[in-house]
């Protein structure tokens, strides 16, 4: 009987697998086409504006490290003149597709003939908290003022995030797609974490997100569920079991991938820690997700560094009794050893071998997971590690 069932299953696979693969490829091609169309619409909008101004070249807005204002300001601040000025600038710098740029001053409204960001090739983007930050601001501003323009811009931006999600559940760094490592599923710089956090807030529709309608809530929940399912699929493993997540993955093969020359395929310790904080906010985590969290926390505990201090100005790792815990930004996939890179693609196990420019220009060590482990203490009281959750990992 079992042999007959096995034959039936094999026949089913042989009959239906080609169709399933064709359907999957069709969904990817549709995604790529929509991305290209969206990018073309953004370009056409700017070209038409330039034509109306009798200009052939766009200018750039002002640059700043973040966005030029306090992104944590309370909702009431957006009732003030200063707050309204920021929101007007944000509205003007939203691309026709619905997103925003990074490193662009969003206290000054865009002028006609300007691009929407200081890095035209990478607009819109989710990197460096772009787009997710502006959407949180719009939600606060709408809660404080009920200005319908803020709500409309918020809905447009959320739809872009939903549209940008790959068929397998991940998100690229930029959307519409711009090629290269920007198309990788990106956890680096907290891209995935911030998108999931925003979607979770939309699904709950609490506080400043209470205006979100049920249709958008459901769409956000579907994207959130799909995104978490992918994270469970791409969590890395070592000899001890499940570990952390890589910084970026090739978006089709899901293999950890290079980004910039000094961002090698490796475990992203800092981003994994911040991602875990979002995952611990989910109200009803599955057994599989609970096991993923427990395992990742165990990795952080095993690989914490003590008696060392990362000197933030001199950019050296020093012996210091009683110091720690500390973690490397990246850990090697095969060995879990701290690993460091340079602009020439060279890799080192000793951070002091990295050029001074890259030591000064990148955060190679972090104490960020200490906060995550502290929050885990409360979470594990609610969701303790049991035989059932252990089995979910098998």
- Do 39-234 and 236-394 have matching folds? yes
Confidence of residue 386 (pLDDT cuts 50, 70, 90): confident
- Asked if residue 17 has pLDDT above 90, the reply is no
Residue 65 has a pLDDT of 87
Encode pLDDT of 126-173 as tens digits. 999 999 999 999 999 999 999 999 999 999 999 999 999 999 999 999
- Asked if residue 7 has pLDDT above 80, the reply is no
Confidence of residue 390 (pLDDT cuts 50, 70, 90): low
- Asked if residue 70 has pLDDT above 90, the reply is yes
Give the predicted TM-score (pTM) of the model: 0.93
**Core vs surface per residue 48-73: b (16+ CB within 10 A) or e:** eeeeeeeeeebeebeebebbbbeeee
Q: Mean pLDDT across the chain, nearest whole number?
A: 94
Confidence of residue 363 (pLDDT cuts 50, 70, 90): very high
Reply yes or no: is the peptide bond before residue 339 cis, omega within 30 of 0: no
C-alpha of 288 from chain center: 21
Active-site residue identified among 149, 156, 159, 260: 260
Q: Which helix (H) or strand (E) holds 366?
A: strand 365-366
Sequence spans of domains, the chain: 39-234, 236-394
Angle, helix 368-382 to helix 287-302, in steps of 10 degrees: 140
Residue 394 has a pLDDT of 46
3-state secondary structure 168-187: CCCCCCECCCCCHHHHCEEC
Query: What residues are paired with 238 via a beta bridge?
Result: 241
Residue 3 has a pLDDT of 54
Domain range 236-394, CATH architecture: Alpha/alpha barrel (1.50)
Encode pLDDT of 328-346 as tens digits. 999 999 899 999 999 999 9
Nearest C-alpha neighbor of 94 from the set 54, 122, 65, 124:
124
- Asked if residue 288 has pLDDT above 70, the reply is yes
- Asked if residue 279 has pLDDT above 50, the reply is yes
Residue 364 has a pLDDT of 97
Cβ atoms of 186 and 172 within 8 Å: the answer is: yes
Percent of the chain with pLDDT over 70: 93
Residue 6 has a pLDDT of 59
Distance, CA of 290 to CA of 116 (rounded, Å): 41
Residue 98 has a pLDDT of 98
Domain range 39-234, CATH architecture: Alpha/alpha barrel (1.50)
- Asked if residue 202 has pLDDT above 70, the reply is yes
- Asked if residue 231 has pLDDT above 50, the reply is yes
- In the residue annotation, 128 being an active-site residue is answered as yes
Active-site residue identified among 128, 168, 174, 336: 128
């Amino acid at each position: 009987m079992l042999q007959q069932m096995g034959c039936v299953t094999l026949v089913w696979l042989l009959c239906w697998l080609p169709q399933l693969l064709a359907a999957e490829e069709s969904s990817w091609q549709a995604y790529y086409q929509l991305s290209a169309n969206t990018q073309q619409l953004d370009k056409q909008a700017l070209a038409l504006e330039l034509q109306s101004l009798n200009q052939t070249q766009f200018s750039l807005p002002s640059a700043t490290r973040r966005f030029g204002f306090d992104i944590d300001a309370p909702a009431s601040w957006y009732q003030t003149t200063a707050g309204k000025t920021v929101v007007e600038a944000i509205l003007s710098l939203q691309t026709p597709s619905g997103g925003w740029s990074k490193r662009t001053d969003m206290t000054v409204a865009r002028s006609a003939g300007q691009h929407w960001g200081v890095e035209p090739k990478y607009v819109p983007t989710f990197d460096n908290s772009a787009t997710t930050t502006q959407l949180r601001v719009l939600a606060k501003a709408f809660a404080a003022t009920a200005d319908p323009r803020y709500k409309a811009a918020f809905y447009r931006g959320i739809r872009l995030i939903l549209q940008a999600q790959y068929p397998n559940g991940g998100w690229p760094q930029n959307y519409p797609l711009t090629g290269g490592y920007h198309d990788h599923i990106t956890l680096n710089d907290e891209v995935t974490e911030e998108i999931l956090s925003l979607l979770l807030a939309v699904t709950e529709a609490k506080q400043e997100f209470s205006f979100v309608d049920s249709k958008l809530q459901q769409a956000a929940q579907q994207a959130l569920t799909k995104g978490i399912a992918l994270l469970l699929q791409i969590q890395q493993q070592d000899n001890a079991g499940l570990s952390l997540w890589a910084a970026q993955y090739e978006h089709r093969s899901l293999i950890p991938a290079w980004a910039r020359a000094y961002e090698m395929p490796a475990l992203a310790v800092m981003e994994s820690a911040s991602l875990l904080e979002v995952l611990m906010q989910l109200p009803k985590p599955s057994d599989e997700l609970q096991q993923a969290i427990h395992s990742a926390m165990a990795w952080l505990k095993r690989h914490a560094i003590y008696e060392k201090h990362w000197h933030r100005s001199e950019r050296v790792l020093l012996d210091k009794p009683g110091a720690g815990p500390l973690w490397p930004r990246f850990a090697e996939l095969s060995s879990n050893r701290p690993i460091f890179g340079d602009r020439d693609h060279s890799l080192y196990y000793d951070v002091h071998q990295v050029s001074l420019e890259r030591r000064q220009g990148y955060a190679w060590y972090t104490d960020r997971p200490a906060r995550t482990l502290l929050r885990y203490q409360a979470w594990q009281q609610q969701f303790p590690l049991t035989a059932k959750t252990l089995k979910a990992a098998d």
